[in-house]
Amino acid sequence: MVNAFSKTALESEPDLAGRQDHNGITFADVNAFQPAVLKGDQQNSLQLVAAGGEVPKTKTVYVDIGHCTSGERNPLGVGGSDQGFAGPGYSECDINKAVGKELMKELKNMGLYVVPTWDVNNPPPPVPKSQDLDRRIDTVNRDVAKYGDDAVYVSIHHDSDTTKQGGQCVFYAATKREESQVLARSIQANAWQVREREGVKDCINPDTATGKGYLDGLRRTNAIGVLIEGANVQNPRDRALMPQSRFQQLEAKGIAQGIFNYFNLRPGQERPYSSAIRQRFGL
């Protein structure tokens, strides 16, 4: 059984002030949260790091649910929206949203702070894909700059992989390999099932392996992060499992456990200091 982080791990109790000013989006799940303020001045914290101590910090997970919030026009000029792949009776957006909601619930039960890049209860108006990605990235980066938490970013997706292999894969930014691989390994070590991929251990992939050759959300977000492809709609078993609530819970529990285990590693030793902490303290 997973125990939540004790409040003694924080330097101070969080106070209640709105954390909701992101492009007009109100985060219903976290709108009363402001993370703990670090005690002492920055110089004291830097001295603590220099002495081998740990910077007091909160633990935050930015959850990005893909393929639900962008709108595009098809070649005939008819309005539409990007919902990812179309499964039998469901879209990728439907599955991403269901798993994302379960993941956020699991993470909060573990004692982690959770910030969604958009509110599933009050989605933002659809905009072109590039603008949608910009506003989701900006949600994270503005929050990171403001709070400087010990933070990770996790983007939830499911895919249509022509190999037809089932299971979960993870992608990280090739430009942030050393930052992100520890998180990727921790998540895959707890996956409901790891997808078999020839020549790729544990299906942990750089974003250069994608069709586009890079993933903007991972490269431009100022937090250690990964993109998760939770299951493959082209695999018959995965296709049947994805709409089932018990499977969605199983998948989310595995991802949450991987994130929890990652945060239990010693920062700066067993895992890197988060991007936010490095930026804040010049590490």
Question: Domain boundaries in the chain?
Answer: 58-281
By percentage, how much of the chain surpasses pLDDT 90?
A: 53
| Neighbour count for residue 64 (Cβ, 10 Å) | 26
Band of the pLDDT at 236, cuts 50, 70, 90?
very high
Q: How high does pLDDT run on average in the chain?
A: 79
pLDDT for 202 beyond 90: yes
Which distant-in-sequence residues (6+ apart) come within 8 Å of 57 by Cβ?
11, 38, 148, 149, 150, 274, 277
DSSP 36: P
| pTM of the complete model | 0.78
- Inter-CA distances, 119 with 24, 28, 108, 124, 256, Å: 11, 7, 16, 8, 19
Q: In this predicted structure, which of 49-53, 87-91, 215-219 has the lowest mean pLDDT?
A: 49-53
Overall fold of domain 58-281: Aminopeptidase (3.40.630)
Contact 189, 262 (CB under 8 A): no
